[in-house]
Amino acid sequence: MTPFSSPLPPFWDHLGVVVGFLLSLAIFSFILRDTWLVRLAQYLLVGVSLGYAAVIAWQSVLWLRLFRPLLDAARPTFPPTMDALWLYWAPLGLGLILWLAGIDALRGSIAGRPSPLRRGLRLLAILPMGILAGVAVGVGIAGAIQGTLLPQFLRGADLGLPAGPPGFLIMGMLTLLITTGALIHLQVGKVAAVEWKLPNFLLSILNGWRWIGERALWLAAGFLFAQLFTSRITLLIARLEYFLFDLRASELWIWLSARVGGGP
């Protein structure tokens, strides 16, 4: 027994093994045919995940970081402190507005002109939505620039000049050649003489460049596929191990074997 052990009686562990076994079989039956069993297992997975997520959201976020601090205040002060205002009351207010507007939207549109209350609610909901969207976009753009674009560009542009090792320079030039070739292939495609009025030798160079980029893309796709195959095979082997070995080592299987084998 560890501090992380389940507080439930052992029967629920055994039931979990049985349910897991049956659901795994249901998912595997997709190999034979897409039946209601597969759909049932998928819907169960989605439903249970959502339900669990809702419980976690209440336990770990809403109660722990919003409602409990508000309720635990010894004497609610008015006006509230700036910290309390920004950390608790403002999120609570904005969240309530968004929540009510969402429920109103779920009710569907009503024929005719909506009431002033509903119109006002939907207008108010623009504020939290705007904050959510604005923060997400701002954070995303800033992060992409500072965390990906700038460091990767600086690394790609670093050719080791003037006194770096030759291998560094060759790798840098190769990276530049392949990257630009892939860009040409994706943006321009095969260049035809009738479309681009360029000398033939330039067209040949451009098409050759594009050819390199196209092959590099295929090579990268093959590498990605190989790694994806490795990852999925690992999952499949783990699940087969569960069927072939872990299940047989469970107490439930031992009990069943004893009953079927005529044991005590």
Partner 1 sequence: MTSTFGCPHCGKGNPIDALFCAFCGTRLQDVETSLREQQDQQGGEAADEDLPEDAPILPPRPARRLRGHATRPSPPQERKIDDPPDPEPGSSGLHRPPLRADTSFSKPPSSTEDPVRSAAPTPTDRADLSIPSSSEVPNDVDPAELAAWLERFPQPNPLSTPMLSDETRRQLRQLFVSEVPLAEILPHEARSDGGGLQRRTWIYWLLLAVLGFALLFGDEAPETLPHVWPGVGGAYAAINTLPTGSTVLIDWAYDPATAGEMDQVARPVIEHLIAQNADLIVISQLPLGPASARRLIAAAETSVWGEITAQRLDATLVEGGFLPGGAATLPLLGQAPALGLPVDLQGRSAEIRPPLQTLTEDGPALALVISAQFEPVQRWLEQVQPLNQTPTLAITSAAAAPPLRPYLDSGQLAGLVSGYNGGIGYRQLLLRPLARAEQIPLWRQIRGHNSALIVLLIVLVIGNLALSLERRSL
Nearer to partner 1, 19 or 135 (CB): 135
Q: Does 230 bind partner 1 (CB under 8 A)?
A: yes
Cβ atoms of 209 and 181 within 8 Å: the answer is: yes
Q: How many helices (H) and strands (E) does the chain have?
A: 11, 0
Region 31-90 residues binding partner 1, contact defined as CB under 8 A: 31-34, 49, 52-53, 56-57, 60-61, 64-65, 68, 87
Region 236-255 residues binding partner 1, contact defined as CB under 8 A: 236-241, 244-245
With CA atoms as reference, report the closest residue to 48 among 20, 25, 28.
Answer: 20
Q: Does 136 bind partner 1 (CB under 8 A)?
A: yes
Angstrom distance (rounded) from CA 18 to CA 15: 5
Cβ atoms of 192 and 206 within 8 Å: the answer is: no
Q: Does 99 bind partner 1 (CB under 8 A)?
A: no
CA angle 36, 40, 43 (to 5 degrees): 135
E-only strand ranges, 78-231: none
Nearer to partner 1, 115 or 179 (CB): 179
Start-to-end C-alpha separation, the chain? 27
CA distances from 4 to 7, 171, 173, 251 (A): 9, 50, 53, 20
Shortest Å, Cβ 107 to partner 1: 22
Shortest Å, Cβ 247 to partner 1: 13
Angstrom distance (rounded) from CA 2 to CA 156: 50
* DSSP type of residue 112: S
Nearer to partner 1, 78 or 245 (CB): 245
Query: Residues in contact with partner 1, total (CB under 8 A)?
Result: 58
- Written as one letter, the residue type at 168 is F
Q: Does 170 bind partner 1 (CB under 8 A)?
A: no
DSSP assignment string, 11-29: HHHHHHHHHHHHHHHHHHG
Q: Does 187 bind partner 1 (CB under 8 A)?
A: yes
Q: Does 3 bind partner 1 (CB under 8 A)?
A: yes
Q: Does 224 bind partner 1 (CB under 8 A)?
A: yes
The overall longest dimension of the chain from CA atoms, in Å, is: 91
Shortest Å, Cβ 209 to partner 1: 19
Q: Does 232 bind partner 1 (CB under 8 A)?
A: yes
Q: Does 2 bind partner 1 (CB under 8 A)?
A: yes
Shortest Å, Cβ 260 to partner 1: 21
With CA atoms as reference, report the closest residue to 91 among 67, 122, 60.
Answer: 67
Binding site for partner 1 (CB under 8 A): 2-4, 30-34, 49, 52-53, 56-57, 60-61, 64-65, 68, 87, 132, 135-136, 139-140, 143-144, 146-148, 151-152, 154-155, 187, 189, 192, 194-195, 220, 223-224, 227-241, 244-245
